[in-house]
Amino acid sequence: MRKFLTLVAAIAISATIIACGKSNNGAEDKPLHNTPNEEPAGKEITKKANGSIRIMSYNVGVFNKYIKDGYEDVANIIKEADADVMLFQELDSCATRTGGVYQLKHICSMLGKEWDYHFGAGLLSFQGGKYGVGIAADKTPKSKAAKNLNNYNDGERRGLAVMEFEDYVVASTHLGLKDEAQINQLAEITAFLTEKYGASGKPILLGGDLNAASGFALIPELKKNWTILSTTATATYSTEKDKYCIDYILLLNNGAKVEVLNSEVVREAKSANVKTASDHYPIFIDMKIK
């Protein structure tokens, strides 16, 4: 009898896990946990250029793409990179599938110094919590803002998180999959940031997973109002099979200027295996404000 009850319980648990595998509100809800061929940690991340601000964008895949609860690996990569500002995509906030953890707060607690952070939900209701994008910075911003973007019949809702500092503005986003959604979502972002910060004279930077490679309709449309600052010479997705450069850091063409001293796709780190930390490589720019 005890064996029978144990079997029933196991089946019930499996059914629960399967039932949680896909939400009906559109988020990409499938932590993979099917670790690719393990590779050792590699060479050290390039040191930050002297006197520069390092802005890094990273789709972290709710820290559960190839390894379960991969917070430590991501934190080690960020610390090794010595980033000043982190633009995150694919974050859960208190969602059931990732154990109810406020992921942005949790990763910031692991970075070795006090970080300010700001979450922007795309999905305001997701498995008992939220899902979206975020920003973290090692200094206190002057202000914060967020915006929910329309989905334009392209599945999940998308979001925008913004931090304003004394001399620049940064924002993080994750665009939809279809051309129409990407173009319209970027137009929403451009209008929002221009209205709110365009007259400030400050550089306005947008980073994230745009889901658009060089041949996509978004890229020529994007260049009407934005300049791509990050390197596009290397694939940023996926770490399992190099496919596309779809992660970017952009500058709004509002007259403000920055100098980019270096830009890289982080394909290796000494402190962690980048290929299993997420399905995206992190990217960064080292910039000076002119």
The whole-chain average pLDDT of the chain stands at 89
- Specify the range with the lowest mean pLDDT, choosing from 32-41, 43-52, 111-120: 32-41
The alpha carbon of 276 is separated from its chain's Cα centroid by a whole number of angstroms, namely 16
Residue in this structure with the two tokens 């670790």, named with its chain if needed: 35
pLDDT tens by residue, 91-107: 999 999 999 999 999 99
Q: Is the pLDDT of residue 11 over 90?
A: no
Mean pLDDT of 148-172: 95
Question: In the predicted model, is pLDDT for residue 16 greater than 50?
Answer: no
Residue with tokens 């991501």: 74
Is there a contact between 289 and 168 (Cβ–Cβ < 8 Å)?
yes
| pLDDT of 34 | 65
Could you give the maximum distance between any two Cα atoms of the chain, in Å? Answer: 75
pLDDT above 90 for 261: yes
Q: Is the pLDDT of residue 87 over 60?
A: yes
The sign of the torsion formed by the CA atoms of 160, 258, 75, 64 equals positive
Query: Identity (one letter) of the amino acid at 247?
Result: D
Count of CB atoms situated within 10 Å of the CB of 151: 18
Burial status of residue 95 (CB atoms within 10 A of its CB: 0-12, 13-18, 19 or more): buried
pLDDT band at 1 (very low <50, low <70, confident <90, very high): very low
Q: For residue 40, what pLDDT is reported? A: 66
pLDDT confidence tier of residue 19, bands split at 50, 70 and 90: very low
Joined together, the tokens standing for residue 170 give 């940064």
pLDDT in tens, 60-79: 999 999 999 999 999 999 99
- Tell me what pLDDT residue 28 has: 57
Token reading at 123: 């999905």
- Residue 8's contacts (CB-CB under 8 Å, 6 or more residues apart) are none
pLDDT higher than threshold 70 for residue 35: no
Percent of residues, the chain, with pLDDT higher than 90: 82
List beta partners, residue 286.
54, 262
- Alpha-carbon span 276 to 286, nearest angstrom: 25
> Residue holding tokens 């006090």?
114
The answer, yes or no, to whether residue 268 has pLDDT greater than 80, is: yes
Higher pLDDT, 185 or 112: 185
Q: What distance in Å separates the CA atoms of residue 101 and residue 111, rounded to the nearest whole number?
A: 16
In the prediction, which pLDDT does 167 show?
A: 97
- Band of residue 121 on the pLDDT scale cut at 50, 70, 90: confident
